[in-house]
Amino acid sequence: MTPAQTRLLRFAESQWRKARKDAGRTATDADRHALYAKALGRDKSSKHFTNADLTKVLAALRAVYDPANFDAQMQAQNDPERRVEDLRNRTWDAICVIVQQPRGYNTLFDQRRVYLEGMSQRMFGAYFDKLTELQLGKLMGSAEAQARRIEAKARAAADAATEAADSNPF
């Protein structure tokens, strides 16, 4: 977890403890781990939470300290879809940097889609639309790394051209 995620979890835990104490219930570490086990299906240290684990635990904590806020509790169900959509969008943005010119008879959109599907097939042997969240993360990381290399190369070429133009007095 990132430091921001850890702070968010600790805040939610403090609100959960306060709500339990206000209700006259205990709020021990054993109680907290029992909540983790209920939310995740097994007890797990927060140091080893995935994003999905954190979302489930936060929803369980919110159900105790803010039971009237149904939207906060439903976020656990909607969050995985949002993460997957974000991964797909970020991957597509990187592909737009990588594939900037259409080749042959394909439109630029088609060329990008072919490149994306080819990358997905090479890395995972599956279509882009069928990738898991974990696979999408890996594909996105690879595409973004390649896009950064292309952008750095383009910046270097632009800097060299500007420098050459500035040094030529004619």
40-56 pLDDT tens trace: 888 888 888 888 888 88
pLDDT in the model for residue 60: 87
- Cβ neighbors of 35 (< 8 A, separation 6 or more) are 16, 57, 60, 61, 64
Number of domains observed in the structure of the chain: 2
**87: in domain:** yes
pLDDT in the model for residue 153: 92
Instruction: Give the Cα separation of 12 and 33 in Å (integer).
Output: 14
Give yes or no: residues 93 and 126 share one domain.
Answer: yes
Mean pLDDT (whole number) for 70-84: 69
**How many C-beta atoms surround the C-beta of residue 104 within 10 A?**
6
- Report yes or no: 128 and 120 within 8 Å, Cβ to Cβ: yes
Mean pLDDT (whole number) for 128-152: 93
**15: in domain:** yes
Q: Which of 68, 97, 121 is the last residue of a domain?
A: 68
| Per-residue pLDDT tens over the stretch 114-137 | 999 999 999 999 999 999 988 999
pLDDT > 70? residue 140: yes
Domain ranges, residue 132: 78-167
Instruction: Give the Cα separation of 119 and 114 in Å (integer).
Output: 9
Instruction: Give the Cα separation of 122 and 125 in Å (integer).
Output: 6
**162: in domain:** yes
Confidence of residue 151 (pLDDT cuts 50, 70, 90): very high
Give yes or no: residues 163 and 94 share one domain.
Answer: yes
**How many C-beta atoms surround the C-beta of residue 44 within 10 A?**
16
13-41 in b/e burial notation, b at 16+ Cβ within 10 A?
A: beebbebbeeeeeebeeeebeebbeebbe
Instruction: Give the Cα separation of 66 and 148 in Å (integer).
Output: 42
pLDDT > 90? residue 72: no
Give yes or no: residues 128 and 148 share one domain.
Answer: yes
pLDDT in the model for residue 55: 86
Q: Which of 43, 68, 93 is the last residue of a domain?
A: 68
Average pLDDT, the chain: 87
For the entire predicted model, the pTM comes to 0.54
Q: Which two tokens stand for residue 123?
A: 């890395």
**116: in domain:** yes
Q: Residue for token digits 């696979």?
A: 135
Is 50 strand, coil or helix? coil
